[in-house]
Structure 1
Amino acid sequence: MVILRAGLCPGLTAEMIQLLKANSIATVVDLVSSDLEEVARKCCLSYKVEALQRIQVARVFDVYKMLDVLQELRCSVSQQVLSSSGPVKVLVVDSVSAVICPLLGGRQAEGLAIMMQLARELKTLARELSMAVVVTNHVTRDGSSGHLKPALGRSWSFVPSTRVLLESREGTWGQASTRRIASLTKSPRQPTGIEVELDIGSCGVLEESPAASGEGC
């Protein structure tokens, strides 16, 4: 679930985010499911808020449909038929494991092939169209070590160039009962082990810890 934040698309400011949140619109899904004219009226926003109209959502429930959507996106952008909504800057897939996991198990060889096909398509979009591709993936615990690891396993771990682990941790005495932590576990530019504590309510960062030695999951 993608939370609305300033800079998500051109024109979406922090002030606009607060107005939307005051009217129970905090995520991209909330926004695209709403009547934009009604949203503009309630939030006292001009209806020429193009930023809100730039966000598009495609609901897919299997990997084959997702591949179709990605190929259509690549063709439409290359043919410049998205001029009404402007250039695509960010693609968010939430979540990749939801459409891949059903193919793993009994038909594992086929599932791995489809997973790698999806990975190639996402990398092609990022490279050819110069867009950021953000993919969410569930995590599981390693049976021997107990450490968290990506749900799609070792094969998928080589696909993302940058990987961030999002987790909830029990707070210590004097802190909130649950802390939400984002940890950098793979990056071509930054040292791994950097952690920040997130405040989901205000979409901000509470504190940042220095880079730790070694790499997380």
Structure 2
Amino acid sequence: MVLLREGLCPGLSEDLIKALREGDVRTVEDLVLSDPEHLAQKCSVSYKALVAVRRVLLAQHTAFPVSGADLYDELLSSTSILSTGIGSVDKLLDSGLYTGEITELCGGPGTGKTQTCFSVAVHVAHELKQKVMYVDTNGGICANRLLQILQQKTANTAEQMNALQRIDVLRVFDVFTLLSCLQNLRASSLQRGSVGVGGSVKAVIVDSVSAVLSHMLGGKQNEGMSLMMQVATELKIIAKDFNVAVLVTNHVTRDRNNQLKAGLGQTWSHVPRTRILLQRTEQPGASSSFRTATLLKSSRRPCYLMEEFDLSPQPQEESRPRFAGKRKLDTDS
């Protein structure tokens, strides 16, 4: 799904794009599937110009076969691995978050989902000097906590402020605003690359997807399912087309055997490439800040591996690994 933007093809001017948007035509797919004569009348634009643009876009975006070898070469050249800033979680993820993929953290309230998102945002912004788009859907973002994590990494105030400036926060509280936010994100910030002092966008975090989707699912609410898949499509495009690591959080429910499972149902389960379940550590004498992370879904490592980590702020993480990772961390930007 490619958004219409100026410069995409000859004849596609800003005025034409604005007129098409008023007619609810935002993507190449919307344009090529519409009736050009009806659309020209509806948007008060030139029929001849519209047909010309439509023909060029059809030629540009028609699918052509690509060999498996070419796809593999593209994967090797474009994939980066971003550390979460938490060693134990990186081990489960086979070194960290992979660009081009969606990774999900699921868990109940207070299990550390948001804190882990903070850690990722700070690590990418400070250590890798890259920008982070943090989409907050439940009001959980806390600047003081971000600063706290940064202070454990550097005492330099200027470095702390520079890192915070690389974290762009977008607050949304319903699925329609979320969709609009994701579409605008790839139409503006990601299309331009946002290269400069702030670096380029390497991570997009949505905390959480379930906060705006769960109440719309169930029963005969077909619209909710459709909106959920639209969100999934936008996230996949952002991850794949712009070489970005996408991290989302999700709630949990219980199955018939009273076992925890990720929310949003079976359809959503195919969206994330990797899924981790976060839980509080229930061992006697364990610190209240300790959490367990269990790998529920992965294409790289065996499922149900488990690690423990400490959420409390400290200069060096005191983790108690149960399984070791097998690949050296790649911090290529």
TM-score bin (small chain)? 0.7 to 0.9
- Higher RCO structure (Cα 8 Å, ≥6 apart): 2
Structure 2 residue 306 is matched with structure 1 residue 195: yes
Provide the C-alpha distance between the structure 1 equivalents of 2:180 and 2:188, rounded to a whole number of angstroms: 12
Q: For 2:157, what is the secondary structure of its paired residue? A: coil
SS of the residue aligned with 2:178? helix
Question: Contact (CA 8 Å) 1:182, 1:195: kept in 2 or not?
Answer: yes
Q: Does 1:141 align with 2:254?
A: yes
| Aligned equivalent of 2:125, options 5, 9, 15 | 9
- The amino acid of 1:145's aligned partner reads N
3-state secondary structure, aligned to 1:118 = helix
Contact 2:274 2:298 in 1 (8 A): yes
Stretches of structure 2 lacking an aligned partner (at least 5 in a row)? 1-113, 130-139, 325-333
1:12-65 per-residue CA deviation (whole Å, 9 max, x = no partner) reads 79xxxxxxxxxxxxx96315999xxxx9xxx66127943221101000000110
Asked whether 1:132 is paired with 2:248, we answer no
Does residue 1:66 correspond to 2:173, yes or no?
no
Q: How do residues 1-217 of structure 1 correspond to structure 2 at under 5 angstroms?
A: 1=114, 2-4=117-119, 7-11=123-127, 29-30=142-143, 45-46=157-158, 49-80=161-192, 82-83=194-195, 85-142=198-255, 144-172=256-284, 174-176=285-287, 179-202=290-313, 204=317, 206-210=319-323
SS at match of 1:180: strand
Identity of aligned residues (%): 41
Displacement of 1:82 in angstroms is 2.8
Over aligned residues, Cα RMSD in angstroms?
Answer: 3.0
Structure ID, larger Rg: 2
TM-score (norm 2): 0.51
Note the C-alpha offset of 1:162.
0.4
How many residues align structurally?
Answer: 189
More helix by share: 2
> TM-score by structure 1 length?
0.75
Cα distance, 1:47–1:200 mapped onto 2, change above 3 Å? closer
How far does the alpha carbon of each residue in 1:131-165 deviate from its partner, in whole angstroms, 9 at most, with x for none? 000000000111x2111011111111111000000
Matches of 1:105 and 1:63 in 2, distance apart? 16
Cα distance in structure 1, aligned partners of 2:145 and 2:202? 18
Q: Distance in 2 between matches of 1:205 and 1:149?
A: 28
